[in-house]
Amino acid sequence: MKILVVEDERRLANYIRQGLTEAGYTVEIAHNGVDGLHAATTNAHDLVVLDRMLPGIDGIAFLKAFRGTHHTPVLMLTARADVDDRVTGLQAGADDYLLKPFAFPELLARIQALLRRRPHAEEAHVGAGTTLKLADLELDLLRRKVVRQGRRIELTAKEFNLLTLLMRRQGEVLSRTEIASLVWDMNFDSETNVVEVAVRRLRGKLDVPFDRPLLHTARGMGYVLEAREP
């Protein structure tokens, strides 16, 4: 899943990006309201984390412009603790509000709660909100741990993010372009084989040691993670 963070405090933005990336999300950053609104209205995101006070246009103006055409969940961050400010933000279109300073686990929990409310959210694949399962494969989002048939599988950060994407959308064929965008946050370059290399390495760890393959190639279309009948 891809999250847009619109935050002008670069240290805080990087802190949020690191935490969300480690939790398996792909993160795009904008450091002012104008760039953030442009990113939010031209790129696809599953959720927006929006600072209340921004250079360019502030969070309230962002929401008023954004909500006219988009229903993406928005979690607003603010240093203002008064009730009127929170009410103004919620009335402008924010779905939740979090006061600064905040603990990252609370931010992550609120994001997960907002994502679960979305139509067609992959709740059926999520056990206790933090574990993804497919056949004998389990992925723990919080502990960043992957286990198959009781055996721990060691993955790099990108391999973990790739597997998270495939498990969240298990049974769905994902193109190389979509995978490159959601895992590497890059526009796909036909000369780049980064996706093929990552899939080959992931398959070597995920499937080769076991009898039943889960990661399949859909020739000419992309890749799909699913449990097929022998």
Rounding to the nearest 10 degrees, give the CA dihedral for residues 228, 188, 190, 162: -30
pLDDT in the model for residue 137: 96
pLDDT tens-digit profile, the chain (230 residues): 889 999 999 999 999 998 888 777 889 999 999 999 999 998 888 899 999 999 988 999 999 999 888 889 999 999 887 888 888 888 889 999 999 998 888 898 899 889 887 654 444 344 445 788 999 999 987 778 999 999 999 999 889 889 988 998 889 888 887 788 777 766 555 567 888 999 999 999 999 999 999 999 998 888 999 998 77
**What is the C-alpha to C-alpha distance for residues 172 and 134, in angstroms, rounded to an integer?**
13
**What is the C-alpha to C-alpha distance for residues 36 and 135, in angstroms, rounded to an integer?**
40
For the chain, list the domains and their CATH numbers: 2-116 (3.40.50.2300), 131-225 (1.10.10.10)
Q: With contact defined as beta carbons under 8 Å apart, do 2 and 44 qualify?
A: yes
pLDDT in the model for residue 122: 43
pLDDT in the model for residue 91: 87
Nearest to 4 by CA among 17, 15, 18: 17
Q: What pTM was computed for the model?
A: 0.58
Please report, for residues 16, 30, 34, 99, 143, the alpha-carbon distance to residue 23 in angstroms, rounded to integers and kept in the order given: 11, 20, 27, 21, 9
Q: How many residues does the chain have?
A: 230
The residue behind tokens 């246009």 is 57
**What is the C-alpha to C-alpha distance for residues 59 and 64, in angstroms, rounded to an integer?**
9
- Find all residues with CB under 8 Å of 189, minimum gap 6, and list them: none
Structure tokens at 37: 């609104």
pLDDT in the model for residue 129: 56
Q: With contact defined as beta carbons under 8 Å apart, do 2 and 28 qualify?
A: yes
Backbone angles phi, psi at 7, to 5 degrees: -150, 125
Per DSSP, the chain holds a count of helices (H) and strands (E) of 8, 12
- Find all residues with CB under 8 Å of 201, minimum gap 6, and list them: 159
